[in-house]
Structure 1
Amino acid sequence: MAGTFSQIYIQIVFAVKGRNSLISESLEEELYRYITGIVSNKGQKMLAINGMPDHIHFLIGMKPNCCLSDLVREIKKSTNDWVNGKVPNKIKFQWQEGYGAFSYSQSSLNNVIAYIQKQKEHHRKKSFREEYKEFLSYFQIDHKEEYLFEWIE
């Protein structure tokens, strides 16, 4: 019997609305587990997740029956509700609209996983804006500045 065989790896990047630093060290590990649970419950595989107080990166192994935009929408909606119920903030936790999604080959996975795991170290040298624009340039993604994330200078 014929089957469907695939190998799809996607790194997803998105930021907290207004680039507020609302992902505290005490919250991040539990938030990453929560997001990993959503990814797993949708039948996908989390390979790496990490971030900064104002944005996250994660790498998934994705099946072809998954609609990436639906998965990201579910992650954002569920985590907005979860964080706001867990941590009362003066500022309501919410993700910014939009996201970056970048595909990789099997041979690149170790490097991408290492990159994601070293986010805090990486951002000592480079801003999120610089990093994100480098992704867009490297992957040759046409874009307009006004449609990128809100930037804090």
Structure 2
Amino acid sequence: MANTYHQIYLQTVFAVKYRNAMLSKTWRSQVFGVIGNLINEANCKTIIVNGVENHVHCFLGLRPVVSVSELMKTVKAKSSKYINDHNLTPERFEWQDGYGVFSYHRSQMDIIYKYIQNQEEHHRKQTFRDEYIGLLKEFKVEYNEQYIFTELV
């Protein structure tokens, strides 16, 4: 729409179901590329997609006409289909239900980009669970710990 101006930067975080270490280093960047393309195809702008064996961070510019929930639904569904269609995992691949989404000011872009870029190094010192809960606390997001992650029973 003419005369509509926006600047919406988001970080989304989502995990492999049960936080299993299924994103192999040998093909992980390929899947991150697919996720980035899916974000771009939704008329948003991928800034960086990265993660480790059990979760993914996406930093993106969101268009105001795009629903975050619809974007994440599409990204997760189509990327898991890609992983399964290409037999990248020995068993059926699924993402954990839900995701985290956090907003940032333009002045924070470089910091967030580097943070996401250095996920492997970061996770030598901190678990994904601690990282995720830390983000929720930092952004003062109310949460119930029993519903944060689906546990393997």
TM-score tier by shorter-chain length is over 0.9
Q: Partner amino acid for 2:14?
A: F
Q: Partner amino acid for 1:55?
A: H
* Structure 2 residue ranges without an equivalent (≥5): none
Other-structure match for 1:22:
22
Q: Distance in 1 between matches of 2:151 and 2:110?
A: 29
> Residues 35-84 of structure 1, C-alpha deviation per residue, up to 9 Å, x if partnerless?
11111111100011110101000100011001000000001110111101
Coordinate RMSD, CA, aligned = 1.5
Aligned pair count reads 152
Structure 1 runs of 4+ with >3 Å offset: none
Q: Distance in 2 between matches of 1:80 and 1:94?
A: 6
Q: Distance in 2 between matches of 1:126 and 1:53?
A: 14
Q: Partner amino acid for 1:65?
A: V
User: What is the aligned-residue identity percentage?
Assistant: 36
Q: Distance in 2 between matches of 1:149 and 1:109?
A: 28
> Residues 97-118 of structure 1, C-alpha deviation per residue, up to 9 Å, x if partnerless?
0000000000000000000000
Q: Distance in 2 between matches of 1:2 and 1:72?
A: 26
Other-structure match for 2:69:
69
Q: Distance in 2 between matches of 1:39 and 1:47?
A: 10
Q: Partner amino acid for 2:37?
A: G
Q: For residue 150 of structure 1, report the CA deviation from its aligned partner.
A: 3.4
Q: Distance in 2 between matches of 1:33 and 1:115?
A: 18
Q: For residue 151 of structure 1, report the CA deviation from its aligned partner.
A: 5.9
Other-structure match for 2:117:
117
Say yes or no: does 1:104 pair with 2:104. yes
TM-score using structure 2 length: 0.95
